[in-house]
Structure 1
Amino acid sequence: MKLHVVPPRTGIEWVRLGLRTFFRQPLALAGLFFMYMTAVLVLSQVPVIGVVIGGLLVPAATLGLMAATAEASRGRFPMPSVLISAFRAGRQRARAMLVLGAIYTTGSIVASGLAALIAGAPQDPQPGQFDASTLLALVLHAPLFLMFWHAPALVHWHGITPAKSLFFSMVAVVRNFGAHVVFSLSWLALFLGAGSLMGLLGGILGGPGLAQAMMMPVALMLAAMFSCSIYFTFRDSFVSEDVVEAPEQQQAP
């Protein structure tokens, strides 16, 4: 496995591949994403421990969605079991994925705690608005996102240790920073464009209430498409024969 540096324009290609792959298996990929979101919502209702368990499972869930995209990109129908790919690849890699989860949970709690300590407790902003604490928390989470962008896939498909996967992930994102900027701005434009269009249509047809009702399913669908494109950012950032193999070939029977 070695790092592959790509030109900035590759960011647009990642978006295009994510959209094309999603529309190959829209029902399956949307369904898997909604399953993931439902699990997150259910866990979030469990006091204290729900947040911890949810954080522990973030890397594994991310890998599951990437594996589903890999399946769909090869013309295969991703089954629900693909979401637990991280725990079907043997004890060593499953344990490594849980270690990643523990690191992510700890980092997220620390970042949120520092944001609350510096900026004060959240003030329950109006929908669509962020208070200082929320914005600071996002900023403090940025290094965490960089470290975990490729880490679950490196652990699962390359057998890299958790510590090394976090380092290689950050290096890959930094080295391909231009492509990631183009990728992020392209998705931001898609989200803003779709939101504006739905807001305009909803406002014309039935007012702000209908506009908001129309935006929610569109936003979730776009989020599912975005999750598909993440796989391609990983695939093109590292060169290895392991990446092109089917996920089930990497899994223990």
Structure 2
Amino acid sequence: MADASPPTLALRTLQARAGLLWVQQGIAACARNPLGFTALLVVTTLGFQLIAQLPLIGPAIALMAMPFVWLAYMRATRLTLGGQRFGLQVLADIWRVPAPRRNALVRVSSLYVAAVLACFVVVVLVYRNGPDAGLVGKLLQAMEDKRQEDVEALLAGSRLWVYALLLSSLLSVVSLVFWHAPALAHALGMRPGKALFFSAMACWHNRAAFLVYGLAWGALGFLVMLVSALAGQLLQSEAAAAVIALPSMVLLMASFYASLHFSTADCFQAQFEE
């Protein structure tokens, strides 16, 4: 039986402090089931790394799988809020929807791969037509030959940071355009083009909240690394710093993914349930 027509969707305009609330809600959700969220993070991260090793198509498949993983985290958060435990089955649950919604998600994921690849193509074209063309090859050769002085000289006179900043900016725009699109296509049955439009509009209308959201996660990550470094200095042990930093960053990343549900659900007057 075909899906019913998707419900009328209304965008919500939130205040900037909503971004901080999403962070708090994500941390609270992860705290209710830290083992489940961290296990999901570790398994999906290892899965991405293994898939990316496949020749030629590996990186594209890994990119295409990312929206599915985002939805798995959103489902995990909803289950947690409902007082239920979850396991790795949330990854399979994403496929247990009617075919039209599943196909819409596949198309959104394909568009995401194309958009990310386009970002890299743009940066490569800018690099090849810029004053630093050929620098990366020289830098890699110097690193392979272990000529540290040449490496430092090449880096000192380069503008590689400009290309890194350009790539980061382009990928950030792509992330915001696609932020809500997988959930809109998967849960509400929207066509990919419409899902991307509403996703972009929701992020634009709530840009202040998303700015606070990003800055808050960045500040927490910096704080974790700072505390870890200080602990390492006090204990005079790099191992101690690593022992503090690694699990803390894993929990922080798990909390971030747990917050994806809140950052999407708050932007729309709709229920994101399968």
Which residue in the other structure is 1:30 paired with?
A: 38
Q: 1:43 aligns with which of 47, 51, 75?
A: 51
Could you tell me the TM-score, scaled by structure 1's length? 0.88
Residue 212 of structure 2: aligned partner: 182
Q: Please, what is the CA RMSD of the aligned residues?
A: 2.1
| 8 Å CA contact retained: 2:178, 2:196 | yes
**Post-superposition offset of 1:78:** 1.6
Cα distance in structure 2, aligned partners of 1:236 and 1:197: 32
SS of structure 2 residue aligned to 1:87:
coil
In the alignment, what sits opposite 2:60? 52
In the alignment of these two chains, the number of paired residues is 241
Q: How does 1:1-253 map to 2 (within 5 A)?
A: 1-119=9-127, 131-208=161-238, 210-212=240-242, 214-240=244-270, 242-243=271-272, 245=273, 250=274
Paired residue for 2:156? none
Distance 2:267 2:20 in 1: 14
Instruction: Report the more deviating stretch, 106-115 or 201-210.
Output: 201-210
Residues 160-211 of structure 1: CA distance to partner in whole angstroms, max 9, x if unpaired?
1111111100100110111111111111111111110011112222444543
Partner Cα separation in structure 1 for residue 194 and residue 227 of structure 2: 43
Q: Distance in 1 between matches of 2:264 and 2:170?
A: 23
Higher relative contact order (CA 8 A, sep 6+): 2
The share of aligned pairs that are identical, in percent, is 28
SS at match of 1:2: coil
**Where does the alignment leave 5 or more consecutive residues of structure 2 unmatched?**
1-8, 128-132, 144-150, 152-159
Matched to 1:108, the amino acid is V
Q: Where does structure 1 lack aligned partners over 5 or more consecutive residues?
A: none
Q: Which moved more, 1:71-80 or 1:200-209?
A: 200-209
The answer to whether the 8 A contact 2:52-2:61 is kept is no
CA contact (8 A) 1:57 1:98 kept: no
Deviation at 1:10, TM superposition (A): 1.1
Cα 1:138–1:84 change in 2 (3 A) is: farther
